[in-house]
Structure 1
C-alpha cells in the first residue's frame, strides 16, 4: 500500500516549485540583465513597494516557464494598496503566454473591483512566437481599459517593450520610461523583415522618439529613479475615483503667506519673458512639485503640487516657449492631463499668460484648432474645483482653453491689474485693420484698461495684487473643497473629445 503524503512532503514540494519560479530565468540570465545596470523584475517590485508588503498571485502559472514571464500581485505604495505586474525579461524575454495573459487580466480586474491603482512594469517582447491566439488574448487590455477614469493607472517602461505588451503603456494615465527603455509596435528584426529598414531599438522607440511623439510622458535616468517617480506621482492621487485625494498634515509650509517674490518674477512688461516655473516654486507649498511631460508641448506646464497641503493639478502657460502661445502638442498634453485630474477629483489651477493659440501655416498643419478644441472641451467639461488667474495676458481662444470664461464652473477667477485680454492683442489688431497712429494708441490704451473693464462687469471675481496670489488661491481652494459633501464617484463623461 502506498503511503499517503504527509504535510511536510506536500509543503516541500510547494517550496520546490516556488523556488523554481523565484529563480526567474536563472543565474546567468539574471547576471546578464543586472550587468546592464537594470534591476530584475522581482528587485523592481521590492524597490517600488513598501518593504515586506508584496503578495504574489499566480506564482505557479507557466510551469517550467517561471511565472510565465510576468510577476503579479498586490502590495502597498505610500501605505496604500496597489495591484501590479512586472514583466520578467529573463524568462522568455518577458513574452506573453496564455497563463501570463490571464494574470494580466486578473490584476486589472482586481484593481477595479478593489478600487486601487494598477501599476505595470514593462520589459517584454509581446505575444510569444508560436503561441497562437489565446481564448482571452485581448481581454487584458479590455480589463485595463475598464480601469480608465476609475482607478489610477501607471506604466513604467524599463527596457524594450514591443507589440501587445507595449500597448499597455498608452492605455495608462501616466507613462514613464528609463533611459534604457524603448517602446514600439514591433522590434527591429520585425521592422527589418517587413520594411527593409535597419534600425536600432533606441532609434525605433527610445526616449528620443517616445517623448517627442507623446507616447511616453516622462523619462528618468535608471530603474530606481523611474520607480521613485511612480511613487511620487501616485502620492497626489486617491486610490480610486470613489475617494478624494488625501491632504497632507498642516505644517509651516502649508500656511497662507504673501509672495513679494512674484513682483520680481513676473515683469509688468508683457513683452518681457519670464519662467513660469519660478511662479510655481513660490505659489505652492514646496518647490518640489511634480511635472508631467516636461519635454512635450513645452508651451504649457502640467504639474502636480500641494497648496495648503491639498493636492492640486496645475495647467500653466510658459512665456519662455513660443511667448506662451499654445501649440497643438501643448493643447493635447493639457487636455489629457485635465481629464486625468478631473477623473480623480484633483482641483485644477489655471495660470494664464499667453497671446493665444499659435498662428501660422505650420501650426495649422499640425491641427492646432482640433487640439485646442480638445483642450477646451476637457476643461469646460471638468466638474472638479477649477481656479483661474490671468497673470498678464490671455487672448482669444487661448483664454478660453485656460478656463477664462466667466461663469464656466470656476470656483474663482482672478487677474493681476493691467492684465490684457481680448480677441487679439492691440498690436495684432492694428496691423490687421491697418489702423493709423491715433487708432493704434487708442487700441493700446483700451487694452491696458481691459482688466478694469472686465472686473467692473464681474468678468473676474477680483483683481489681485500679485503678492496675494497664494492667499487668494488658497482661500478659494478651501472654499471649493467644502463642496465635497457627498461620497466621491467616477466622473460621467458627456463630451465627445474633438
Structure 2
C-alpha cells in the first residue's frame, strides 16, 4: 500500500511557496537589476560556489516577502564548505526584516559551530522598519558574526548600495571587496540630506573611490563575476578555521628550490635607487599570481598572500616606489590588520624590509603615525605564527621593529643582504642632525655600510645571504618551521590591548 497520493497537496503547496521565494522580486525587478550589469542574489551564489553545491535554509522565511530579502545556506568553494548569505536587492531593496535578521544570526552561528568560513554578499538598505518600530534584539547577527572573528575566515563583498546595519557587516570581516557599482555608508544620500542638508550621490558618499581610499574596503573587482572569483582565490590560501592549518597547493615545478639571480638586477646596492618590490615577490614566491590585499590603501607596504614551496604564506613588504619605503599611518594600519588575520589562521609571515623608518613630518604626525606604527608593532610581536625576515637594503629605527627585524621576537629565521644598513637613523640624517664635519660624516657612512657585518658577527641576523639565495634560504627556513606543526592547531589567544 502506498501513501504517496496523501502527500500530493502538501508537496504542491510547498513547491508553490518555494517558487515564490526563488522568484525573488519578480521578473520586472530582476530585469531592471540585470540591466545595470549586476547578477541577482541567486546568480551570485551560483557563480561563487562550486557548481550544484548550494543548499538553502530559511527559504520560507518572510512569507510573501521572498526569503525575507536574503538568500542563505551552505555550499562548497574549492571543495571546502562555507556558510553564505546574499542580500536580494530586488526584494524590498535587500532590507532586513525580523526573519532576515534571524537568518543572518543563524549563518554566523553555524559557521562558528561547524568551523567553516562565513561569506556575505551585500546589497541592501539596512533594517526594514517603520518610524518608531523596533525588532527587539536587532544587532544579534553582528554579535554572532563578531564571535566568528579569528575563529573562522569572514569575507564580505559589496555589490551594490549597502547602508545602515547591513553595511556594518563589511568592516567586521577579515576581508572585504567591492564591485564598480558598490557603495557603503552609515546612511544613504536621502538620510544625509535630511540630517545635514548635504546633497551628495551614493558614489561620492561611499563608492569605490571613497571606500578604497578610506580603507573600509580592501579590494576592488571590475564586475560582480570578478569580485566573486577573487573571493575564491582569497579563500584558497586559508584553512576552514583556526582549528586547522592552511592547505598546501597541488605540487608542481613552481614549488621547487631555485636560485633568484634576477634579484641582483632588481635590487640596487645604492639605497637611493628605487625599485618595485612587486618584482621581488615575483622572483621569490612560487608563482607570479600572488594575491595582493588592499593594493590601493597604504601603498608604502605591500600585503599579499602567496605560496612558498607550495605552502600558503602571508607577505609584508616595504615598497620603495612609494614614499621611498617610509611607513605612513595607512600602511601601518593595513599591515597590522593583515598580520592579525594571517596569525589567526596560522599562515607563516614573510617580512621583506627596505625602509628608512616611519614617515616623518607634520602631516604624518597629525595622521597618528606613531599610534598606527605601535599598532603594527603590537600585531607582529604578538603573532605566534612562524615569522621569517629579510632586510634587503635598510631598515631604520621603529621601521625595523615593525617589520619584525628584532631577532629575539620569536622569528623562525632572520636574514639580510651584505651591506644592509640599520640603526636609529641613516648616516646622512645623523650627520645633519649632529652637524658633523666631513670627516665624521664619512666615518658614519662607513660604519653604516659595515653594520650588517657587525650585526651578523653578534648573530643579530641568523645569516647574511646573497640576493640570489633569497628564495632558497626562506624555503629551507619555512620547511623547518613547519615541523613545529606536531599538535592540533587552536585559535590564537590574544591578551594585549591594541594601540
1:97 Cα deviation after fit: 0.2
Task: Note if 1:43 corresponds to 2:43.
Answer: yes
2:460 is matched with which residue?
Answer: 459
1:433 is matched with which residue?
Answer: 434
In structure 2, distance between residues paired with 1:249 and 1:274: 32
1:387 Cα deviation after fit: 0.1
- Give the alignment of 1:88-487 within 5 angstroms: 88-130=88-130, 132-487=133-488
1:88 Cα deviation after fit: 0.1
1:449 is paired with a residue whose SS is helix
In structure 2, distance between residues paired with 1:273 and 1:484: 39
In structure 2, distance between residues paired with 1:19 and 1:6: 21
In structure 2, distance between residues paired with 1:235 and 1:195: 44
1:10 is matched with which residue?
Answer: 10
CA deviations over 1:187-208 (Å, ceiling 9, x no partner): 0000011111010010000011
1:134 Cα deviation after fit: 1.6
1:133 Cα deviation after fit: 1.9
In structure 2, distance between residues paired with 1:220 and 1:129: 32
In structure 2, list runs of 5 or more residues that go unmatched: none
Q: Do the aligned residues in 1 keep the contact of 2:115 with 2:240 (CA within 8 Å)?
A: yes
Q: Do the aligned residues in 2 keep the contact of 1:85 with 1:104 (CA within 8 Å)?
A: yes
In structure 1, distance between residues paired with 2:214 and 2:115: 31
Q: Do the aligned residues in 2 keep the contact of 1:157 with 1:178 (CA within 8 Å)?
A: yes
1:76 is paired with a residue whose SS is strand
Question: Which shows bigger deviation, 133-142 or 448-457?
Answer: 133-142
1:5 Cα deviation after fit: 8.1
Q: Do the aligned residues in 1 keep the contact of 2:98 with 2:135 (CA within 8 Å)?
A: yes
CA deviations over 1:154-200 (Å, ceiling 9, x no partner): 00000000000000000000000001100000000000111110100
2:57 is matched with which residue?
Answer: 57
Q: Do the aligned residues in 2 keep the contact of 1:101 with 1:136 (CA within 8 Å)?
A: no
In structure 1, distance between residues paired with 2:177 and 2:249: 25
Runs of 4+ displaced beyond 4 Å:
none
1:44 is paired with a residue whose SS is helix
In structure 2, distance between residues paired with 1:87 and 1:388: 42
In structure 2, distance between residues paired with 1:275 and 1:104: 43
CA deviations over 1:448-488 (Å, ceiling 9, x no partner): 00000000000000000100000000000000000011101
TM (norm. structure 2) is: 0.99
1:135 Cα deviation after fit: 2.8
CA deviations over 1:320-366 (Å, ceiling 9, x no partner): 00000000000000000000000000000000000000000000000
1:6 Cα deviation after fit: 1.7
In structure 2, distance between residues paired with 1:282 and 1:445: 31
TM (norm. structure 1) is: 0.99
In structure 2, distance between residues paired with 1:70 and 1:6: 33
Q: Do the aligned residues in 2 keep the contact of 1:355 with 1:395 (CA within 8 Å)?
A: yes
1:429 Cα deviation after fit: 0.2
In structure 1, distance between residues paired with 2:432 and 2:396: 16
Q: Do the aligned residues in 2 keep the contact of 1:170 with 1:216 (CA within 8 Å)?
A: yes
1:6 is paired with a residue whose SS is helix
1:412 Cα deviation after fit: 0.1
1:66 Cα deviation after fit: 0.1
In structure 1, distance between residues paired with 2:467 and 2:382: 29
Q: Do the aligned residues in 2 keep the contact of 1:102 with 1:136 (CA within 8 Å)?
A: no
Q: Do the aligned residues in 1 keep the contact of 2:239 with 2:247 (CA within 8 Å)?
A: yes
Q: Do the aligned residues in 1 keep the contact of 2:97 with 2:129 (CA within 8 Å)?
A: no
1:136 Cα deviation after fit: 3.3
